Chains A and B, each alone.
Chain A
């Protein structure tokens, strides 16, 4: 390590300036990505702590750790932190922010100051959320259903809802920035069909951010006006309809699931291609399936409302449309597995996460079909079956992809390698812990345990204890990467520009990249994922003594 022969760039985005001011007022997309990385990790830990309390409470059938009101606040805190402050920004605001300009060969996003503003909005929103928590908490669930949130709850709904509102604007600005950057700032020769598939998926997710988020913003605004002034748009006493809130809420919050999972697809595309050393099977199909998911995803929100009293005919249409989402999703899964077939697969940490993702996402997706079926949904609605289903998508899908992506681009972001052995161990721990936590919940839900209760019949205890045991393994699994990644900042091996031998413009700049990303504007003359046999050879060469071989 620290080989003296390494030709490190004299200046990069990390050592360009050291002052606190240079970080807080930075307009460099790479620094803003790191600011986001720190912030969302913080919110992830808070959401995780709330989950730990929930799981410990559920070890016994009695409510012996916390009272019902406190339990309500704990699962609300868990949901609000994890969804609005971790999952939605997780991949777009960190990896997306860092990689979109690098992948399209630009010096920055189209609107660097807007990008910084979006981080400040995000932090203001997070502060509001934390304020609500410490002032006494919120008990409405992350869904803020009226009339509970508007009329009855006397907890800190306003502060939390305002937090979600402001976080939404941060998300809108991020999506807007990505779309303009991808349209207008691609390097010469980088046509749409030469783009990495990462960009296609991020673009589709950005479209949803821009189109769906304003709708939930106006819904939250109306709840706020109802609490503040009594403008009862959702209040039956004033001619309003509480169900209308659910429609507006899910018009955003269902597509929001795709804001979480499409960027995960983005990461998986790169990981599968890199560690199979092959162009993904059916490039255009994978690309367009992202758009198919984004479009159809706008038309399925009613499947959250099958038992809300909406029209049966609406239910049937929403059910049929929900089944349609399975088609582009399975196109992706089949194409990834086809890419692996007879490829030269290597088993580094990011690939472990990618393979874990494919399995867990498949289980999450297939159980989604159960829930889209009207009759089955009536049986399992609001049970742990639903909880297990969306955790397989959000944790098994998005968090696995996020961790895979963080490991994969860590050398690029920090200039240091993560420790491979520890990383593999924690990837396996997380996979095992995750399944032990959430698979029993499918059974619990199928046998009738409702969600959001902390007192349950004794016959459910065995499965609940299994789930809590799994959660403790999962929790430890998450602490490992936090620890060794921080460790690697100082003690990790220095990273060459392209440690994994992947294609793509981000790997042509030094690790970490200079502030302006590219020393000269790259000109792209080839398709994406053009793996050459020589590249594999070069990769082997680069893996052996680091330092001497950064090619000239």
Chain B
């Protein structure tokens, strides 16, 4: 196996490979390509774990929607389609600004990088604020099936409340709604914190050249979170065709 002679005096690898000269190369990598490829593969693998993490809840959604088709249809009518659509547009736009930020980092455009990161944060925060209003609506409508709240009782908007017989299925719908959108929102908060760190690093000129892979990986994360929403939106808001899509008024 052609072993290197083990009686050689210990030589620092930095001396032998000239690593010490490139501050962007961590000591345990051979070259910049290896380093970049490792970081990218690591991020993709992390996203795979995220897919499996959300996957458990998607499975639960599949099971319960199959069990309670009527209650899921009714629940999706209770969603605010306008706010949901606005939020979808906001989030998709934030993915565009994120992609532009990645581009800015690769072409070393500091001003554009910072502007695009700020824009991404603004869009992300807008999404969360709208989401908070939607959650509040659910509270007012008595559509929160936990924390000891009066679930399904009559409210101003829904004077009939949810019939006793439909409540387990409706509870399953809203439990999933809050778990999945809540987990999604939590990921967005992490993403926004990440953007703040990136802005700080950008002001120190530490995101260019080889380090732009940090922006690239953060972008992957942000796009992933965006993609989760692309599934959540139809699952909860468009579970059945809404009345106005069919041209009727009725639900």
Interface residue ranges, A against B (CB under 8 Å): 7, 9-11, 106-112, 172, 176-177, 179-181, 183-185, 210-215, 217-219, 222, 225, 229-233, 236-241, 244, 247-248, 251, 497, 503-505, 507-510, 514, 516, 518-526, 530, 550-552
Query: B48 to A211, Cβ gap below 8 A?
Result: yes
Instruction: Report which of A179, A185, A237, A516 forms a contact with B45, defined as CB distance below 8 A.
Output: A179
Which of B5, B57, B146 makes the CB contact (< 8 A) with A232? B146
Residues of the A chain whose Cβ atoms lie less than 8 Å from the Cβ of B175: 231-233, 238-240
Which single residue of chain A is at the shortest CB-CB distance from B178?
Answer: A231
* CB pair A176 B42 closer than 8 Å: yes
Partner of B2, one of A217, A218, A225, A523: A523
Knowing A107-B28, A509-B6, A526-B1, say if A232 contacts B171 (CB, 8 Å): yes
Contact at A112–B28, with CB atoms within 8 Å? yes
Quick check: A106 and B170 within 8 Å, CB to CB? no
**A213 to chain B: closest CB distance in Å?**
7
Q: What distance in Å separates the Cβ of A248 from its nearest Cβ neighbour in chain B?
A: 5
Q: Are B146 and A230 in contact (CB under 8 A)?
A: yes
Q: Mark B1-39, 1 if CB is under 8 A from A, else 0.
A: 111111111111100110000000001111000100110
A sample of 7 inter-chain contacts (CB < 8 A) reads A109-B28, A214-B56, A233-B176, A514-B10, A518-B4, A520-B4, A551-B7
Top 9 nearest A-B pairs by Cβ distance?
A239-B172, A239-B168, A508-B3, A214-B53, A218-B56, A108-B28, A238-B171, A230-B146, A214-B52
Interchain CB contact under 8 A, A184 and B41: yes
The distance from the CB of B166 to the nearest CB of chain A, in whole angstroms, is 9
**Residues on A with beta carbons closer than 8 Å to the beta carbon of B67:** 239, 241
B71 — nearest CB in chain A belongs to which residue?
Answer: A239
Question: Contact at B178–A238, with CB atoms within 8 Å?
Answer: no
Known: A10-B9, A108-B28, A238-B168. A519 touches B146 (CB 8 A): no
Give Cα distance in the complex from A108 to B56, angstroms: 34
Does B38 contact A185, Cβ atoms closer than 8 Å? yes
Chain A proximity of B48: nearest CB distance (Å): 6
A217 to B57, CA, bound (A): 11
Chain B residue with Cβ nearest A106: B28
CB pair B7–A516 under 8 Å, yes or no, is no
Pairwise interchain contact B38-A184, C-beta atoms closer than 8 A: yes
Q: How far is the CA of A7 from the CA of B10 in the complex (A)?
A: 12
Could you tell me if B11 and A521 are in contact, using CB atoms closer than 8 angstroms? no
Q: Is B64 an interface residue (CB 8 A)?
A: yes
Q: Which residues of A contact B13 (CB under 8 A)?
A: 107, 516, 518, 520-521
- A522:B4 contact, CB within 8 angstroms: yes
Which residues of B are interface residues toward A (Cβ below 8 A)? 1-13, 16-17, 27-30, 34, 37-38, 41-42, 45-46, 48-50, 52-57, 59-60, 63-64, 67-68, 71, 145-148, 167-173, 175-176, 178-179
Assess the A230–B7 pair: CB atoms within 8 A: no
Contact assessment for A248 and B56 in the assembled complex, using a CB-CB cutoff below 8 Å: yes
Residues of B within 8 A of A233 (CB): 60, 172, 175-176, 179
Distance A237 CA – B169 CA, assembled complex (angstroms): 10
Instruction: Give the CA-CA distance A82 to B219 in the complex, in Å.
Output: 39
Q: In the complex the two chains form, is A519's CB within 8 Å of B10's CB? A: yes
Chain B residues within 8 Å of A176, by CB: 42, 45-46, 49
A552 to B9, CA, bound (A): 12
Q: How far is the CB of B67 from chain A (nearest CB, A)?
A: 7
Residue in B2, B7, B48, B54 whose beta carbon sits within 8 Å of that of A7 in the complex = B7
Task: Flag if A552 contacts B7 (CB, 8 Å).
Answer: yes
Give Cα A497–Cα B4 distance, bound, in whole angstroms: 12
Given A230-B146, A521-B30; A550-B179 close (CB under 8 Å): no
**Pair A519/B11 contact, Cβ less than 8 Å:** yes
User: Of residues B1, B17, B52, B148, which shows the largest number of chain A Cβ atoms within 10 Å of its Cβ?
Assistant: B1
With A108-B28, A239-B169: A180-B45 Cβ-Cβ less than 8 Å? yes
Whether the Cβ atoms of B53 and A215 lie closer than 8 Å is yes
Select B56's contact among A181, A219, A232, beta carbons within 8 Å: A219
**Contact indicator A508/B1 (Cβ below 8 Å):** yes
With contact pairs A215-B56, A222-B179, A516-B12 given, residues A522 and B46 touching in the complex (Cβ less than 8 Å): no
Residues from chain B with Cβ under 8 Å of A526 in the complex? 1-2
